[in-house]
């Protein structure tokens, strides 16, 4: 983890600044990769959770956990354009609880860049409280429900609906590696985004997409709505399909299947303007 400074944390909010982005978080174009943007948001959550944000120390143990089930990312082009391998950045994450359900909660994390406090993106994440062994949701304890009762009345965010899969899709196959998994023993939430962008690049280079015909890592993802519907373990063989929206070719859909089961669905809105090449890169 990069150097960080925690500014405050309590049971429903927190704020942390990361002093730079790890070298390995940049993709082959020298820009901050979407999957590692998501992972840095996850890192900010973990830094605060381990300081007992959301009563993490009381709720999570060897038998229980929080799993991400939905994520909505709204990012400004500056995330991809300005946070680069050759321009170190200070990144401030401000996190707040938005909504409480019986078994899940939704949180909002806003990202600001450098000392200017320029806003560059928001991620909404819904996490569910689960039994680690069965993977089944658990009711969040009554004492927590009572402390957070004002959040019960707030309307949870609504994810975009992924349309039914059409007949004409681009498909590819991938296999999960052990290094793709996280501390919960399954494919990390951010790796699904990496799978989608690898699939998108294959589709673009093959000529399947309209408008796009090269490495999709050049194009910032401005919006991403994703739903995690199942788990994926090391050695699982995945089928990944993609297609473009009928009315807006900048909107691209993805489905990841593990066998016959759909375990992940996503809608990405790409910026059709490429991010600039890095002066010290051959890409």
**pLDDT (0 to 100) of residue 81:** 86
Query: What's phi and psi for 136, nearest 5 deg?
Result: -85, 145
Residue 84, both tokens: 């680069």
pTM of the model: 0.92
Residue in the structure block whose two tokens are 């995690």: 228
Q: What is the DSSP letter of 53?
A: G
Please give the pLDDT value at position 183: 79
How many angstroms separate the CA atoms of 232 and 220, rounded? 27
pLDDT, position 2: 60
Contacts of 280 (CB under 8 A, 6+ apart): 30, 86
How far is Cα 283 from Cα 272, in angstroms, rounded to an integer? 18
pLDDT given for residue 279 in this prediction = 65
Q: How far apart are CA 125 and CA 127, in angstroms?
A: 6
Please tell me the predicted confidence (pLDDT) of residue 1: 52
Q: What's residue 281's pLDDT?
A: 63
How far apart CA 49 and CA 30 sit, in angstroms, is 30
Query: Whose CA is closest to 48, among 3, 114, 89, 93?
Result: 93
pLDDT for res 282: 65
Question: What sign results for the dihedral spanned by CA atoms 156, 110, 277, 188?
Answer: negative
Answer whether 91's CB lies under 8 Å from 98's CB: no
pLDDT tens-place string over residues 225-252: 999 998 888 899 999 999 999 999 999 9
Cβ neighbourhood burial of 235 (10 Å; 0-12, 13-18, 19+): exposed
**pLDDT tens for residues 177-223?**
898 888 778 888 999 999 999 999 999 999 999 999 999 999 999 99
Domains, the chain, ordered by start:
1-158 (3.10.129.10), 161-278 (3.10.129.10)
Counting as low any pLDDT under 50, the low residues of the chain are none
Tell me the DSSP string of 158-208.
-PPPPPPP-SS-EEEEEE--GGGB-TTSSB-HHHHHHHHHHHHHHHHHHT-
């Amino acid at each position: 983890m990069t150097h960080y400074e925690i500014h405050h944390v309590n049971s429903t909010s927190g704020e942390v600044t990361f002093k730079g982005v790890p070298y390995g978080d940049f993709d082959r174009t020298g820009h901050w990769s979407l999957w590692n943007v998501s992972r840095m948001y996850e890192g900010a959550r973990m830094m605060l959770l381990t300081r007992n944000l959301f009563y993490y120390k009381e709720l999570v143990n060897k038998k229980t956990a929080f799993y991400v089930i939905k994520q909505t990312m709204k990012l400004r082009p500056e995330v991809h354009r300005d946070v680069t391998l050759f321009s170190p950045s200070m990144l401030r994450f401000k996190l707040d609880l938005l909504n409480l359900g019986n078994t899940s909660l939704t949180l909002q994390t806003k990202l600001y860049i450098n000392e200017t406090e320029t806003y560059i993106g928001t991620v909404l994440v819904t996490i569910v409280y689960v039994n680690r062994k069965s993977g089944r949701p658990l009711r969040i304890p009554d004492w927590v429900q009572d402390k957070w009762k004002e959040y019960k009345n707030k309307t949870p965010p609504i994810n975009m609906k992924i349309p039914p899969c059409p007949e004409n899709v681009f498909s590819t196959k991938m296999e999960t590696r052990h290094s793709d998994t996280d501390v919960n023993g399954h494919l990390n939430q951010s790796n699904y985004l990496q799978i989608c962008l690898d699939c998108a690049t294959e589709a673009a280079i093959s000529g399947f997409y309209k408008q796009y015909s090269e490495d999709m890592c050049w194009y910032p993802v401005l919006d991403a709505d994703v739903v995690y519907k199942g788990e994926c373990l090391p050695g699982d063989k995945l089928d990944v399909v993609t297609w473009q929206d009928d009315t807006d070719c900048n909107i691209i859909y993805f489905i990841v299947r593990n066998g016959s089961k759909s375990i992940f669905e996503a809608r990405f809105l790409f910026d059709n303007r490429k991010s600039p090449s890095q002066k010290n890169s051959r890409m």
